[in-house]
Chains A and B, each alone.
Chain A
Amino acid sequence: MAARNAPADLLRYAGVTLMAGLVLLPLAVMGSTSLKTQADTFGSGFSFFVSPTLDNYRTVLEGRFLGYLGNSIVVGVGSTAITLILGTMCAYALSRFRFAGRTSIAMGSLLLRTVPPAVLAVPVYFIWNGWGIGDGLGGLILVYVALNLPFTIWLLYGFIEQVPGELEEAAAVDGCGPFRLLFTIIVPLLKPGLAAAAIFTFRIAWNELVLASVLTDRTTRTMPYAIYLFITDVGVEWGKLMAAGILLALPPLIFTLVAARQIVTGLTAGAVKG
């Protein structure tokens, strides 16, 4: 390798810093606006620091929003937990067994991976109402689990393939049943994969708007749709909108800061050999 070249390194740092600045700028604008009074958001010109106040957050959290936040948490956590359990089991079956139907499951789920939510909106609205789950959190969780399973299965499949089969053979000889074997021997070895799958599933369930808008009512609404209605209801109360936006963005922001490596694993899954 060539020796480190100080001026070139300096240029690189300048480059990444500039890029990071461009990425962060709109987020900083959101943060700063969330701390402004309505009058200040319309003051002449834009400036970052004007007598910050937490009033917007207070107003947002005093309204119905707290309930919607609760709904989002239930949907996010519920969808993620169910997706991980079902996805792990299915990935294990695809990796360890050659059975009739394996190829159909594999190809089917790979092609269904990219179904656009807008395509699902009409039929899901229709079918779910027929089943009587058209406006509850359960119906929303069902469609999010289905939507996330293909990616989760294929991500975890790659991780399970890396686990040597000898481990299971030894455990099976010791009389360990197949389900206990999966959950006590294999699953602990899949932590990086499970973390990546969890983040991406949670991201969809937490952020999704289209299906949430057709499958919820006044009490079961989740945050993204509540915020959208905010835009039309309140018109241009930017401070409150941005405060609500910050609350919505907070969990993904925290995940990104603690688990950037797993996110990169998830993003590059399938393209780059991990």
Chain B
Amino acid sequence: MQLSSLRLRRRLLPWMFALPAVATMAFGLLYPVAESFRLSFYELKLGEAVSPEAFRGLALFAEVLADSAARQSMLVTLHFAFVVVALEMVLGVGIALALEKPIRGMSAFRSIFVLPMMIAPICVGLIWRYMFDTNAGPINAWLEPFGVKPAWLADPGLAFLAICVTDIWQFTPFVFIMALAGLQGLDRSTLEAAHLDGVSGWQMIRHIKLPLIAPILAITILMRLIDALRGLEVVYAMTNGGPGLSTELFSLHIYKSAFVTQRMGHSAALSVCLLIATMVLSAALLAFANPIRRGR
């Protein structure tokens, strides 16, 4: 009797530690995600309760695929993600290669580089909305000697450029920090051996260093892509998706279709699409960096 109660306690013990967190994630994360799937089958206005009459099956998904605004916003998001992630990778990795050798005071500079990632995205959007402001903004003031005064956030092409510049400002330092961590973690003896074999300069970078930090770069790309799919606050503050739909990132489109046009089911169907995309990227991320398989 006593033995079995002891055994029961030992079996319950891990759950006593894990349960509070698991319950919080189940109620606060998993349940809303599941609810999102459920709502995507119903045509509902914001605030309406789920009813059998509102059931539409997969019709809302068909509508998402046919909807030109949804498609436009997907294209904008893909375009945005491709442009910013490509430029951030080239810039961040390039700078990391140039600054790879440890220099005195680097830690102070590193604190500066993480600042744009730490402050609120709404704040970042606000700052850059001001930077790009046609009349009051510093960028146009600096351009004045050249006799140009672009209306940055009022022109579709320029507004898209502006949100890209902002993202590059915000996240190139992230790529830099990741690449630098990878480079400084490289095995010195491998590099030394390659050096003795006469490998140097570009050859060293192209054939030794980049292949060795490739897993970290892959993780960085995936993390940036996931962020690009999740983010909306910077654009919300800068352009609110406009002019037209030129900067309407997919997350912003979901938010607006729920709380501006107030079509919950439609927004939930869009959400399910975004969820699937982020889950695929997350699963790919796990293939590179799975904390469980890390072992002791």
Contact = CB atoms under 8 A, between A and B. Distances in A.
Interface of A: 9, 12-13, 15-16, 19-20, 22-24, 26-27, 29-30, 33, 41-42, 45-47, 86-87, 89-90, 92-94, 96-97, 99, 101-103, 105-106, 108-124, 126-127, 142-143, 145-147, 149-150, 153-154, 157-158, 161, 178, 182, 203, 206-207, 209-210, 213-214, 223-224, 227-228, 231, 236, 238, 241-242, 245, 248-249, 252-253, 255-257, 260-261, 263-264, 267-268, 270-273
B204 interface: no
Contact of A87 (B21, B36, B136): B21
Interface of B: 11, 13-15, 17-18, 20-22, 24-25, 27-33, 35-36, 39, 95, 98-99, 101, 103, 106-107, 109-123, 126-131, 133, 135-138, 141-142, 144, 169, 173-174, 176-178, 181-182, 185, 215-216, 219-220, 226, 229-230, 232-233, 236-237, 251-252, 254-255, 258-259, 264, 267-268, 271, 274-275, 278-279, 281-283, 285-286, 289-292, 294, 296
A122 B214 CA distance: 38
B122 A118 contact: no
B291 A154 contact: yes
Contacts of A101: 15, 18
Given A16-B109, A29-B130, A126 B39 contact: yes
Nearest to A103: B292
B118 A20 contact: no
25 contacts: A46-B136, A46-B137, A92-B17, A94-B18, A111-B279, A117-B230, A118-B271, A119-B254, A122-B271, A123-B35, A145-B24, A146-B28, A209-B236, A224-B122, A224-B123, A224-B233, A227-B122, A242-B127, A245-B123, A252-B115, A256-B115, A268-B181, A270-B291, A272-B216, A273-B294
Contacts of A109: 25
A214 B267 CA distance: 15
A86 B24 contact: yes
A20 B109 contact: yes
A24 B33 CA distance: 38
B103 A127 contact: no
> Which 6 pairs, one residue from A and one from B, show the smallest C-beta to C-beta distance?
A146-B28, A90-B21, A46-B141, A207-B120, A97-B14, A93-B17
A272 B181 CA distance: 7
A32 to B, nearest CB: 9
A214 B264 CA distance: 13
A123 B95 contact: no
Contacts of A224: 120, 122-123, 233
B278 A264 contact: no
Given A26-B131, A92-B17, A97-B13, A119 B123 contact: no
